Amino acid sequence: MTLSPLNIALWAINLETSLKSLSDWIEMTSYRMEQAKEQGAELLLMPEYVSEQWMSFAPAGIGPDEEIPWMATQAAEAIDQLKVLAINHDIGLLAGTFPVGIDTKDEVSDSPVNDNSGYYNRAHLFLPDGRYITQDKLCLTPNEQDPQAWCLTPGNKVKIFTWRSLRIAILICLDVEMPALSSLIADHDIDLILVPSMTSKLAGYNRVFGCAKARAIELQAAVAAVGPIGATDFFGKKRQNQTSAAAVYIPCEESLGHIGVATEISPTDTTVGQGPLIVAKDIPFEEIRRLRNGSAEVWPGAWKADHVVVEDD
């Protein structure tokens, strides 16, 4: 089967763009989808915790442990409207992540559940064919596990799905830093990994994006990553600043241009307007798959260390 190239747009949202309602956010997202479509994109990727921007219209006085539950109250309406946008604009949309409440105890029977947690940090992918695909964050940060802050429940499965004949997975922020997770999916012939992220410091950006590039090399796949920039205004007070950028990484092979970068912008903690929107054009998935299937210069495939013994003196 011949794979067509794909154009992926990445939107590093400017959190300083103030909103008055969820409708404002939906309208802004619709406009950015239209812009991405006009530039030839077939998929638009947004950052982790796009719901941080919703805090600009959150109720005054809510505490840190109330923020996730409040964001989750907005989720159902957001999901319904985003489904329509993907169909109407005829473009795929990974609307970053925003929290959702856990519906049943069965969902978390295999997950460690914090006493005060009832929410997932969930990525939401809306496809123009009407499909709605989700992925829950698997490895949580200390703040995401803090009962006095954004206390959440980790997911317990990685979903691999097919769209446009591509095998795709979503790894949320810290998840892409986990070598064990990369090894787990290495045998599953993945073409594309989508990485919505959120990092407050330059060090965090470098961890996530550096590991995203490493995943492209070790899995012989394309990896698209994006994070938000700036700080949300909450009743006249700036919240924590976010430092990030956007990039699409590919394997470091001669036929792909040697450097392993399809497109990228430099990280920053401040930007203008709604934030930069870039498009990685004609990502050559046919060639990437050919390389993965045995034509790469030195890549040995999904290499396992089963025969290696660790000697610890």
- Residue 312 domain-assigned? no
Residue closest to 215 by CA, chosen among 248, 241, 256: 248
- Residue 197 domain-assigned? yes
Q: What pLDDT was estimated at residue 160?
A: 98
- Residue 166 domain-assigned? yes
Q: How far apart are CA 35 and CA 38, in angstroms?
A: 5
**Amino acid identity of 86?**
A
Q: How much is the average pLDDT of 281-302?
A: 95
Q: What pLDDT was estimated at residue 2?
A: 83
- Residue 168 domain-assigned? yes
Q: What pLDDT was estimated at residue 106?
A: 46
Domain with 163 in it: 6-295
For residue 202, give the H/E element and its range. Answer: helix 202-219
- Residue 161 domain-assigned? yes
Strand order in the sheet with 119-126: 132-136, 119-126, 92-101, 43-45, 6-11, 277-283
Q: What is the CATH number of the domain that holds 136?
A: 3.60.110.10
Q: How far apart are CA 245 and CA 268, in angstroms?
A: 7
How many folded domains does the chain comprise?
A: 1
The secondary structure of residue 249, as a DSSP letter, is E
Q: Is the pLDDT of residue 210 over 90?
A: yes
Least confident of 9-18, 187-196, 232-241, 258-267: 232-241
Q: Is the pLDDT of residue 124 over 80?
A: yes
Q: How much is the average pLDDT of 85-99?
A: 98
Ramachandran angles phi, psi of 305, nearest 5°: -105, 30
Q: How much is the average pLDDT of 135-139?
A: 98
How many Cα atoms within 13 Å fall on the side-chain side of residue 10? 28
Q: How far apart are CA 235 and CA 176, in angstroms?
A: 34
Q: What pLDDT was estimated at residue 113?
A: 44
What's the pLDDT band for 237 if we cut at 50, 70, 90?
Answer: confident
- Residue 47 domain-assigned? yes
Determine the 3-state secondary structure of 83 from DSSP.
helix
Ramachandran angles phi, psi of 281, nearest 5°: -100, 145
Q: What pLDDT was estimated at residue 13?
A: 98
Q: To 10 degrees, the CA torsion angle through 84, 89, 94, 100?
A: -20
Give the list of residues 6+ apart from residue 171 with CB closer than 8 angstroms, or none.
135, 158, 181, 193, 194, 195, 215
- Residue 75 domain-assigned? yes
Using one digit for the tens of pLDDT, what is the confidence trace for 149-203? 999 999 999 999 999 999 999 999 999 999 999 999 999 999 999 999 999 999 9
Which DSSP string corresponds to 255-288? GGTSS-EEEE---BS--STT--EEEEEEE-HHHH
Using one digit for the tens of pLDDT, what is the confidence trace for 52-76? 999 999 999 899 999 999 999 999 9
What's the pLDDT band for 117 if we cut at 50, 70, 90?
Answer: low
Q: What pLDDT was estimated at residue 104?
A: 55
- Residue 307 domain-assigned? no
What's the pLDDT band for 206 if we cut at 50, 70, 90?
Answer: very high
Strand order in the sheet with 246-249: 160-163, 166-170, 192-196, 222-226, 246-249, 261-264
Report the relative pairing of strands 166-170 and 192-196 from DSSP bridges.
parallel
Using one digit for the tens of pLDDT, what is the confidence trace for 47-58? 999 999 999 999
